[in-house]
Amino acid sequence: MADSGQGSGYSLFPLVLLLLFWVLFEELLRRSLSLPPWASVPLGLIACGGFFWLVGLAEEAVGHFSGGARTSAAPPPGIKTTEMKIEHIGIATRSIEDALGFWRDALGLEVRHTETVEEQGVNVAMLPAGEPRIELLEPTGPDSPVAKFLEKRGPGIHHVAVRVPDIREALARLKAGGARLIDEEPRAGAGGCLVAFVHPASAGGVLLELVEHAAGAEADTHHER
Ligand code: ZN
């Protein structure tokens, strides 16, 4: 995905690189083909240009090397960022009851919704904090992905969920940009939500959940899958 993505901050680096390679190619041509300098200097520049052009092509083919990361200030055209919001923050805990001692009793948030999601092996408690929610996740058994997370990392932020207007479009765009998706297709969530997870390897070490609300279903019943 070629894009006007390069920020500033490159400045002289490409020029220095170009000069270095120019000198290198010139030297190579002069020595290997015994060319005089009047021929090897321009030919060196041409070879150098060709080399950079190929590198550029290869870079584009690989999808910007870094898994499609962009650094442009503006989002790609057609993205409605105003329709994206933090939907909830998932926090892994060994015991929801213990965690509520802080989030509900000390901080003062209200538990709006609790549920057990069998297939994910989690008990969930949702505590709205303004529009976004704190989602407490407690494993129901040792095989639950959240149990494995707790074993490895301890209690803490497990994932961040972002609400998107069109989850299939968001997944397609992420995939085209080289992002590693855990769910290529959205799964059904409660309250008619569609959800899909993006691998932390593509999201700066954060497990990212995308959520699309069903038309007309505002927030209240969505929960963890
Ligand atoms: Zn979640």
Condensed to tens digits (0 to 9), the pLDDT of residues 83-125 reads: 899 999 999 999 999 999 999 999 999 999 998 888 788 999 9
Domain CATH code at residue 166: 3.10.180.10
pLDDT at residue 124, as a whole number: 92
Q: In angstroms, what is the span from residue 158 Cα to ligand 1's centroid?
A: 9
Give me the amino acid identity at 89. I
pLDDT at 2 over 70: no
Give the range of the structural domain holding residue 188, as residue numbers without chain letter. 5-220
Q: In angstroms, what is the span from residue 197 Cα to ligand 1's centroid?
A: 9
pLDDT at residue 94, as a whole number: 98
pLDDT at residue 11, as a whole number: 65
* Structural domain contains residue 225: no
Q: In angstroms, what is the span from residue 177 Cα to ligand 1's centroid?
A: 23
pLDDT at residue 222, as a whole number: 45
d(CA 193, CA 219): 9
pLDDT at residue 61, as a whole number: 67
Cβ atoms < 10 Å from Cβ of 77: 6
Q: In angstroms, what is the span from residue 225 Cα to ligand 1's centroid?
A: 7
Condensed to tens digits (0 to 9), the pLDDT of residues 163-181 reads: 999 999 999 999 999 999 9
* Structural domain contains residue 168: yes
Q: Which of 158, 116, 157, 159 is nearest to 140 (CA)?
A: 116
Ion ligand 1: residues, CB within 5 A, are 90, 161, 209, 224
Domain count, the chain: 1
pLDDT at residue 18, as a whole number: 73
pLDDT band at 39 (very low <50, low <70, confident <90, very high): confident
pLDDT at 8 over 70: no
Strands 133-139 and 85-92: parallel
